[in-house]
Amino acid sequence: MPRTADHDQRRAQILGGLLRVAARDGLHAVTMRSVAAEAGVSLRLVQYYFTNKALLMRAALDRLDAESRARWADRLAALGPAPGPRARVGALLAEALPTDGPSRLFHLVWTSSAVLALTDPDLAAQAFTAGPARLERDLAAALTADRDHLAPGADPATEAARLLALAHGLGTGVLSGLRTPASAREVLDYHLDRLFPGLPAPATDAAPGDTEATHGAGTSAEAT
């Protein structure tokens, strides 16, 4: 095989361009040409490495999903061994808030795609509803396991639904600039205070990089 290039690196470079365009100009501005220009490659290369636009978008969403899962795992690992129920639930939901650059990018692109999927049938094949549904089931199971720490009369399944709806609502509030990441976290802690009475909020729980919500936030871009 002659002149063999690093396909993974090339693909990452192109996807980085895509995400930068999406973050800056919105998902509708993501075209083959704009991605190529932003990534510093020719249009032909985007075709070569991703065949067509649908596959390109799918790869981008897959990458975002993987990054998000990784951040979530990091957050859980950072809790140390045997974290309390509230800390675990808090870590889970903190990832649902677009607090820093990469997270904001993820939520922007993901939300845009989910909205498109509402009417686009083949995009809907993506896990836009399966993912959240599974998350809600898992959360309900976790709450059921910890039910003796919950407020009296609380129903784990409904509490799981309430938590996820709240987190999502807060997330879009932050995304639209209606709410700062800090205030969203406050509301979330307020909610957890009432869900887990007697369990205080962990001390320095806040992640770094909480800034005033601004448009056109930082890009994550590089490397897989």
Partner DNA sequence: ACCCCCATGATACGCCTGTACCATAATGGT
Partner DNA sequence: ACCATTATGGTACAGGCGTATCATGGGGGT
Q: Is there binding between residue 220 and a copy of itself (CB under 8 A)?
A: no
Q: Is there binding between residue 43 and DNA (CB under 7 A)?
A: yes
User: Between residue 49 and residue 88, which ones bind DNA under the rule CB under 7 A?
Assistant: 52-54
Q: How far is the CB of 82 from a copy of itself (least distance, A)?
A: 30
Q: Distance (Å, rounded) from C-alpha 54 to C-alpha 45?
A: 15
Q: How far is the CB of 128 from DNA (least distance, A)?
A: 20
CA atoms within 13 A on the CB side of 196: 20
Q: How far is the CB of 147 from DNA (least distance, A)?
A: 49
Q: Distance (Å, rounded) from C-alpha 95 to C-alpha 75?
A: 8
Site stretch for DNA (CB under 7 A), options 32-40, 73-81, 114-122, 162-170:
32-40
Q: Is there binding between residue 183 and a copy of itself (CB under 8 A)?
A: yes
Among 8, 48, 178, 209, interactor with DNA by CB under 7 A: 48
Among 83, 101, 132, 156, interactor with a copy of itself by CB under 8 A: 132
User: Between residue 32 and residue 91, which ones bind a copy of itself under the rule CB under 8 A?
Assistant: none
Among 19, 38, 39, 45, interactor with DNA by CB under 7 A: 45
Q: Distance (Å, rounded) from C-alpha 107 to C-alpha 104?
A: 5
Q: Kindly state the tokens that stand for 117.
A: 């999927």
Q: How far is CA 204 from CA 78, 79, 85, 191, 201, in A?
A: 12, 11, 17, 18, 9
Q: Distance (Å, rounded) from C-alpha 51 to C-alpha 184?
A: 41
Dihedral sign from CA coordinates of 94, 100, 102, 103: positive
120: amino acid identity, one letter: D
Q: Is there binding between residue 220 and DNA (CB under 7 A)?
A: no
Q: Is there binding between residue 34 and DNA (CB under 7 A)?
A: yes
Q: Measured from the CB atom, is 47 or 180 closer to DNA? A: 47
